[in-house]
Amino acid sequence: MPKLSDPVIIRGKKIKNRIVMPPMVCFSFKGDHGGMYGEQHVDHYTRRARGGAGLIIVQSTPVLGAVEQLGVWSSGQGEPLEAIARNCHGYGSVAMVQLSCGNVDINELAVEQIHRMQADCIAAAASAKQAGFDGVEYHFAHGFTLCKFLDPEFNKRADSYGGALQNRVRVITEIIPQIRGAVGEGFIISVRMGGNIPDVAGAAEVAKALEKAGIDLLHISFGMNMPANAVPAGFNGSAIAYNGSEVKKQVHIPVIGVGEITTAEQAKFLIENGCLDLVAVGRGMLADEKWANEVLADEPVNQCRHCGDNSRGCLWFDDHTQCPAS
């Protein structure tokens, strides 16, 4: 069976181990010159790359304005992103950026608005590649805009973007050829989606459709709501991680699992038992930037103290200086 230290190759990109730093918004960081990103972000991701993470996914970044090269996609705001990608590569980490379409009611969008959003999704991927990133992850989880397309209980559209499964995934599947044309063959296209949209069976069907359409990697979190399903006895992980393991059984592309994975024991269990292909360690890496190197060396880590019931109660998210473990 695989080990945490084993590499994974996706689209020719060698991820040196199975440990992922997932996208986590740095709410208390300040961007340079009024932009979204700055030196605090560069230092933050560089430290986790130096700390051994095989794959680093930069926080949720809006695609809005990518076609016109405005906002975060303007030439004046690109330098921090370029530095993040460059520094991650310097420490042997594969670097991706998560792309988000905000949080709007998809049932109220005109088709023309969906097409403009798709155009920004394509342009943002092209800009991410130009900045030096190895791939992008489209944010189809946590109840945000793209997530709402996938969930049949929320998506009430009566056109080609609602109803049947092939319609609910169309917002991404119909533009994958254009994305691939813009970024080339050696670039990872990933989707972060819920493992409960509205349940595991529904998520598995979405995952299979995304794989068939050409998605390279899946990152399974939660959908419109946190999962309420039980976890079998003996499974060393959360309901989110368990749902990811169930989705993995239905696809042939690599699956990242996430959700309250903070200890070496959990990470090793999930990989060594074939439950997941990669494990995303969020709060663990916020508490200890060297988490990956220490776990791989069987050394003790500076353990996350689980402030709040879940990541939404994490003190680091509100103000990184208040984290009692970091």
- Bigger pLDDT: 306 or 105? 105
Task: Count CB atoms within 10 A of the CB of residue 239.
Answer: 20
How far is the C-alpha of 100 from the C-alpha of 23, rounded, in Å? 11
114-143: per-residue pLDDT in tens?
A: 999 999 999 999 999 999 999 999 999 999
CA distances from 316 to 211, 284, 306, 325 (A): 34, 11, 11, 9
Cβ-based burial of 119 (10 A; exposed 0-12, middle 13-18, buried ≥19): middle
Question: Residue 105: pLDDT above 60?
Answer: yes
Residue 185 falls within a domain, yes or no? yes
Give the pLDDT of residue 309. 63
Close Cβ partners of 280 (under 8 Å, ≥ 6 residues apart): 20, 21, 22, 57, 219, 256, 257, 258, 261
220-243: per-residue pLDDT in tens?
A: 999 999 998 999 999 999 999 999
Residue 206 falls within a domain, yes or no? yes
Residue 2 falls within a domain, yes or no? no
How far is the C-alpha of 217 from the C-alpha of 248, rounded, in Å? 11
Query: Domain containing 93 — which CATH number?
Result: 3.20.20.70
Residue 90 falls within a domain, yes or no? yes
Domain ranges, residue 212:
8-322
Under the banding of pLDDT at 50, 70 and 90, the label for residue 33 is confident
Residue 174 falls within a domain, yes or no? yes
Give the pLDDT of residue 95. 98
What is the average per-residue pLDDT within 42-53?
98
Query: b/e map of 164-176 (b: 16 or more CB within 10 Å)?
Result: eeebbbbbbbebe
Pairing of strands 94-100, 135-140: parallel
Residue 112 falls within a domain, yes or no? yes
Residue 316 falls within a domain, yes or no? yes
304-316: per-residue pLDDT in tens?
A: 888 866 556 788 8
Close Cβ partners of 67 (under 8 Å, ≥ 6 residues apart): 116, 119, 120, 123
What is the average per-residue pLDDT within 183-202?
97
Residue 141 falls within a domain, yes or no? yes
Residue 310 has phi, psi (to 5 degrees) of -155, -170
Cβ(15)–Cβ(274) below 8 Å: no
How does DSSP assign 19-71, residue by residue?
Answer: EEE-----TT---GGGSS--HHHHHHHHHHHHTT-SEEEEEEEE-TTTTTT-G
Under the banding of pLDDT at 50, 70 and 90, the label for residue 185 is very high
How far is the C-alpha of 256 from the C-alpha of 22, rounded, in Å? 9
Domain count, the chain: 1
How far is the C-alpha of 243 from the C-alpha of 285, rounded, in Å? 22
264-286: per-residue pLDDT in tens?
A: 999 999 999 999 999 999 999 99
